[in-house]
Amino acid sequence: METEAQPAARAATPIVTVRELERSYEQGPLTVRALRGVDLEIEAGEFTALMGPSGSGKTTLLNQIGALDKPTAGTVSIEGQDLTRLSSGELSDLRLSRLGFIFQSYNLIPVLSALENAEFVLMLRGMGAGERRRVVMETLASVGLQGMERRRPSELSGGQQQRVAVARAIAGKPALVLADEPTANLDSKTGDDLIALMKRLNEEHGITFVFATHDPKVMEAARRVIMLEDGTIKQDIRK
């Protein structure tokens, strides 16, 4: 008996889709083209480094993907949602619910403890205090900060502060974590430990990471390296 042919499975939508992306800035009488027609897709579970010299467009591209800046032309989509079609409120909701951010300067609130900093995003989401506390305690333990939950940033080393920032970024189980020069202010050993931690979170929990970085050790750890120069992608290397 003949059976009907089954339709082919649809490919999963990439987490990030960038099409013909342009970003220009006015500097006095000059127009600086920070991004020039960038096309890019990033799939779930990738561990990707954006590399290139200062002024190549790494941070500008990361800010576009993170809905922190608007393009001059072209589109950025997160999980199929075109960011250029979203209102300011909808962009804020998307950043809160689907994205995690790790900044070079940590961006911790000085008067809050490690636990309070790490639970800040969950509080903004409206998660109840008991559930929020449970999730954050588990997350801080997973990044090696068990026993340090009550310490304020001034009582933590640079590496420990960056781990709090990582915990804050991942506590809400985002689809994508964007990290801007996360190892830049760390000594070599602490930077190595942080890279290993993020790689473990990627491998064990499937968290997608995209880094803007100059650090060759991040490039070595990454499974995909995108080289930018003068606002364009010059190389896209998958290992």
- Is the pLDDT score of 2 beyond 60? no
The pLDDT > 70 percentage for the chain reads 95
Give the model's confidence band at 184: pLDDT under 50 very low, under 70 low, under 90 confident, else very high: confident
**233 beta partners:** 228
**Under 8 Å CB-to-CB from 135, ≥6 apart: which residues?**
119, 122, 127, 171
Q: pTM for the complete prediction?
A: 0.89
Please state the rounded mean pLDDT for residues 22-39.
93
Q: Would you identify the CATH topology of the domain 44-70+86-238?
A: Rossmann fold (3.40.50)
Q: What does the pLDDT look like over 151-177, one tens digit per residue?
A: 999 999 999 999 999 999 999 889 999
Q: Quick one: pLDDT at residue 12?
A: 67
Alpha-carbon separation of residue 46 from 80, 114, 239 (angstroms) = 17, 28, 11
The domain limits of the chain are 44-70+86-238
pLDDT tens digits, one per residue of 7-27: 444 456 799 999 999 999 988
Secondary structure E strands in 79-132: 81-82, 99-102
Q: What is the reported pLDDT for 4?
A: 43
Helix (H/G/I), strand (E/B), else coil: 30: strand
What is the pLDDT at residue 64? 96
Instruction: Report the distance separating Cα 171 and Cα 122, nearest Å.
Output: 8
